[in-house]
Amino acid sequence: MSPSSVFMSKGPAMIRKPNASLYQLIAASRLETVMPICVIAVIAHLPFQFLDDIYKKIISFFFFTSQTFSNTDYIGERIYVQRGITMKKRHGLATRLMIVVAVITIICGAAVGTISYMTAKNELIDAGKMDLQHMANSATSLLTVLNERVENGEMTLEEAQEEARNILNGPIEDGAHDLSQSNFNYKDGAGYIIAYDNQANMVLHPTEEIGSPPADDSTKKNREDMILLAQSTDEEDADSFLSYDDTDEKSGDVREKMAYVNYFQPWNWTVGITVYTDLFYKDLESVKWFIIAVTTALTILSLVLFYFLIRPKLTQLKAVTDAATQLAAGDFREQELKETKDEIGVLSNAFTKMSGELRSLVQSIIQSSDKVSDAASELSAVSEETSASSEQVGVAVDDIANGASSQASDLETTTYHLSGFNDSIHMMTAQSDAIAQAALQTSEATTKGSNMMHDLTSANNASMQSVEAISAGMQELDKNLQQIVRITDVIENITEETNLLALNASIEAARAGEHGKGFAVVASEVRKLADQSNAATKEIQQMISSITKEAAENVARIESNKQQAEQLNHSVVATAAEFTAIEAAAEATKNAGNRLLEEIKQVTAQTNDITDSIQNASSVSEETAASVEEIAASIADQIQAVANIATSAEELTHISRQLNESIAVFKL
C-alpha cells in the first residue's frame, strides 16, 4: 500500500466506489451542471426579510461605518432606531431594491464565474494528467524496445540506457541534454522524464548527474514514495498519480508537483514524469478577468433595466404612501390616485374607497356626537332635581332612624346593666352557698379538732407519767451503779493484797529451797488468779463507767423531754380553748349565711321580672330601628343611583365634547 500522504486517482478521472458518501458522489459529478441549479434554487427561496437584512448590512458598511443595523427595527417615517440612537434613513425603497438586485447579481455572477473557473481548472488538470500518463507510458514502451535490442545482442545494456537518456531527455549539447529536441517533455520543458534505481539514485535526468543520491531527506522521501507506488502490486495503485510538495529551483517557493510513474523491471528503473500542478491551468488567469468583466457588465445592465422598469411602479406606490400619510394626519379630503390593472393600481383603488368610507364614517360620528351631547345635558338636569328631593327624604328618615337607634341603644344599655346586676346576684348566691358550706365544714373540723385535742391531752399526760417513771428508774439505776463501783473497788484492793501476799510466799518458798517448791507453785497460781481477778475488775469498772455516762446522758434527755412535754401540755390546753371559740363562731356564721341566702333569692326573682320586661321593650325598639334603617338604605341607594346617573351624564357630556374636539381636526 502507498503512504497516506500520497494522493491517487485511477486514470484521469475519479473512480466512484460503491460505498462512497453522498458528498463524494456530488464531488465526482459535473460541477458545471449541479452548482448553477443549486445557486438559483437557494436565491429563489430567500425570504424578502433576508434580502432586506443584506441591504442593511451593505448600507451600514458603506454609509454608516460607525453603526451597524444588527438587531435594528424599522418603525416608520424612514427612521431607524438602534440601541437608543436615532438615524435618518438615507435611501428609499427604489434605492434599496436596486442595491439588493446588484448584490444578488454580483453573487450569482461570482458563483457562476467561480464554478466555471473551477470546472475549467479541473478539466485542464485532468487533461494534464492524461498527457503525463501518455508520456510516461510512451517512455516505458521505448525502454521495452531498447531492452529487446539488448536481449537480441544488438547493443549492450549501457548503450541502451544511454540511448534512452538521449531520446527521452534530448541529445547532449554543451554538456547537458537539450529538452527542446525531445518529444518527451511537457510545455517546453516544464515537465520531463526522470528515472530512479531501487536505491533512489538518479539514473535519468536532463540536468542532474547520473547516479547522484537525493540531496536531502525531503527529496529522498519523495523518490521513495514514487518507487513504492511504481512497484506496488496492489490493483488500486496501478496507473496511479503522486502529489507532493517540492521547492522551485528558480523562485525558491514550495509548489505542488504531480508525478506519474511506472516500474521497468528489466532495468530496475522507476520511470516517470513530474510537473508543477499550477502549470496545468496557468492560462486560466485571462479567463478569470473575463468572468469578472462579464459579471460587472451584467450587474450594470440589470440595474439599468430595473430602474426603467420598476421606477414608475415605485413612483405610483410612493403616491399611495403620501396619501396614507395625509390620511393619518386627519386630512380626509378626496385624493386622485392613478389606477392601473396591476397590484399597485388595485391598491390605489382600494385606498381611495377606504378613504371615502372613513370620511362618511367621521361625518356620521360628528352628527351622533351632537345628539348624544344634547341628551346628556337633559339627563344631567333631571338627575340633579331627583337627587335634591331624595336627599330631603333621606334626611327625615335618618332622623327617625337615629331616634329609634338611640332608644334601642338605651334599652340595650339598661339590659346590659341588669344583666350585670343579675350576674352579681348569682355570684353573691354562689358565695353565700360557699360560705354556708365553709361554715359547716369549719364546724365539723372544729369538732374533730376538739376531739383530737382531748386525745392529745390524755396522751401527753400519759407521756408525762412515763417520763417521770423513767426518770425515777434512771436515778435508782445510778444508785445501784455507784454501789457496784464501791464493791469493785473492794475487790480490786483484795486482789492487790493477794498478789502481794503471793509474791512474798514465792520469795519465802525460794528461800526454803527444795522443800518450798510445792508452796511456790501454789503461790504462783494464786498470783495468777489475783491478776485475772484484777483484770476482770478493771473491765467491770470500765463497763460501769460507760453505763454511768450513758445513764447520765439519758437522764439529761429525759429531763429535756419532760420539760417539752410540760410546754406541749400548756399549748394543748390553749389550743383546746381556741377550738371551742372557733366552733361557736362557725355556728354563728352558718346561721347568718342561711339568712343572707334567703334574702338573695327574693332579690333574684324580682330582677328576673324586670329583665324580661326590658327585653320585650328592646325587641320592639330593634324591630322599629331595623325597619327605619331599611327605608334609609333604600333611599340612600336611590340617591346613589341618581348621583351615578348624574355622574354618567356629566361624563357622557365630557366625552361628547372630547369627541367633537377630536373630530374637529379632521378635514372633510
pLDDT per residue over 35-77, tens digit each? 444 444 444 444 545 555 655 555 554 444 334 434 444 333 3
Q: Which of 237-251, 328-342, 389-403, 508-522 has the lowest mean pLDDT?
A: 389-403
Residue 84 backbone class (left: φ over 0; alpha: ψ -120 to 50; beta: rest) = left
Q: Is the pLDDT of residue 285 over 50?
A: yes
Strand boundaries in 84-159, DSSP class E:
85-88
**Res 176: pLDDT:** 80
Domain ranges of the chain: 22-45+92-304, 351-664
Q: Which of 19-23, 269-273, 346-350, 467-471 has the lowest mean pLDDT?
A: 19-23
CB 349 within 8 A of CB 339: yes
User: Residue 79: phi, psi to the nearest 5?
Assistant: -120, 130
Identify the DSSP state of 27: H
User: Quick one: pLDDT band at residue 411, thresholds 50, 70, 90?
Assistant: low
Is pLDDT larger for residue 53 or for residue 468?
468
Closest CA to 369 of 654, 646, 645, 665: 654
User: Residue 2: phi, psi to the nearest 5?
Assistant: -80, 160
**Res 343: pLDDT:** 72
Closest CA to 72 of 96, 52, 100, 101: 52
Q: Which residues contact 641 (CB under 8 A, 6 or more apart)?
A: none
Highest mean pLDDT among 370-384, 440-454, 469-483, 598-612: 469-483
Q: Is the pLDDT of residue 596 over 90?
A: no
Could you tell me the three cell numbers for 636? 340612600
Lookup result for grid cell 455516762? 549
Could you tell me the three cell numbers for 50? 433576508
Q: Is the pLDDT of residue 97 over 80?
A: no
Q: Is the pLDDT of residue 287 over 50?
A: yes
Q: Is the pLDDT of residue 271 over 90?
A: yes
Q: Is the pLDDT of residue 80 over 60?
A: no
Residue 547: exposed, middle, or buried by beta-carbon count in 10 A (0-12, 13-18, 19+)? Answer: middle
Q: Per-residue pLDDT averaged across 87-105, rounded?
A: 68
**Res 521: pLDDT:** 77
**What whole-number distance in Å separates Cα of residue 43 and Cα of residue 111?**
11
Q: Is the pLDDT of residue 584 over 80?
A: no
Q: Which of 390-399, 427-436, 470-479 has the lowest mean pLDDT?
A: 390-399
Highest mean pLDDT among 43-57, 211-225, 333-347, 567-581: 211-225
User: Quick one: pLDDT band at residue 2, thresholds 50, 70, 90?
Assistant: very low
State whether residue 73 is helix, strand or coil: strand
User: CA torsion sign, 286 to 291 to 297 to 300?
Assistant: negative
**What whole-number distance in Å separates Cα of residue 274 and Cα of residue 214?**
16
**Res 155: pLDDT:** 92
**Res 663: pLDDT:** 66
Q: Per-residue pLDDT averaged across 411-415, rounded?
A: 65
User: Quick one: pLDDT band at residue 512, thresholds 50, 70, 90?
Assistant: confident
Highest mean pLDDT among 184-188, 192-196, 405-409: 192-196
Closest CA to 498 of 537, 521, 528, 536: 528
Q: Per-residue pLDDT averaged across 528-547, rounded?
A: 78
Instruction: Tell if the pTM clears 0.85, that is, is over it.
Output: no
Is pLDDT larger for residue 318 or for residue 276?
276
Identify the DSSP state of 285: H
Q: Which residues contact 487 (CB under 8 A, 6 or more apart)?
A: none
**Res 22: pLDDT:** 32
Which CATH number is correct for 351-664, 1.10.287.950, 3.40.50.720, 1.10.150.50, 1.10.150.20? 1.10.287.950
Question: In the chain, how long is the greatest CA-to-CA distance?
Answer: 193
CA dihedral 630, 632, 638, 641 (to 10 degrees): -90
Q: Which residues contact 536 (CB under 8 A, 6 or more apart)?
A: none
User: Residue 68: phi, psi to the nearest 5?
Assistant: -125, 165
**What whole-number distance in Å separates Cα of residue 245 and Cα of residue 478?**
146
Is pLDDT larger for residue 405 or for residue 201?
201
Q: How many CA atoms lie within 13 A of 54 on its CB side?
A: 17
Q: Per-residue pLDDT averaged across 83-108, rounded?
A: 65
**What whole-number distance in Å separates Cα of residue 440 and Cα of residue 534?**
77
**Res 397: pLDDT:** 60
Q: Do domains 22-45+92-304 and 351-664 have the same CATH topology?
A: no
CA dihedral 340, 343, 349, 353 (to 10 degrees): 170
End-to-end Cα separation, the chain, in angstroms: 92
Q: Per-residue pLDDT averaged across 290-313, rounded?
A: 80
CB 332 within 8 A of CB 359: yes
Residue 658: exposed, middle, or buried by beta-carbon count in 10 A (0-12, 13-18, 19+)? Answer: exposed
User: Quick one: pLDDT band at residue 112, thresholds 50, 70, 90?
Assistant: confident
To the nearest whole number, what is the mean pLDDT of the chain?
A: 72
User: Residue 270: phi, psi to the nearest 5?
Assistant: -100, 105
**What whole-number distance in Å separates Cα of residue 188 and Cα of residue 253?**
21
Q: Is the pLDDT of residue 197 over 90?
A: yes
Q: Is the pLDDT of residue 32 over 50?
A: no
% helix, strand, coil for the chain, step of 5: 75, 10, 15
State whether residue 204 is helix, strand or coil: strand
What percentage of the chain has pLDDT greater than the value 90? 7
How is domain 22-45+92-304 classified at the CATH fold level? Beta-Lactamase (3.30.450)
Lookup result for grid cell 510545455? 187
Highest mean pLDDT among 33-47, 148-162, 278-292, 576-590: 148-162
Q: What is the pLDDT of residues 137-188, one digit of tens each?
A: 999 999 999 999 999 999 999 999 999 999 988 888 877 888 878 888 887 7
Q: How many CA atoms lie within 13 A of 425 on its CB side?
A: 17
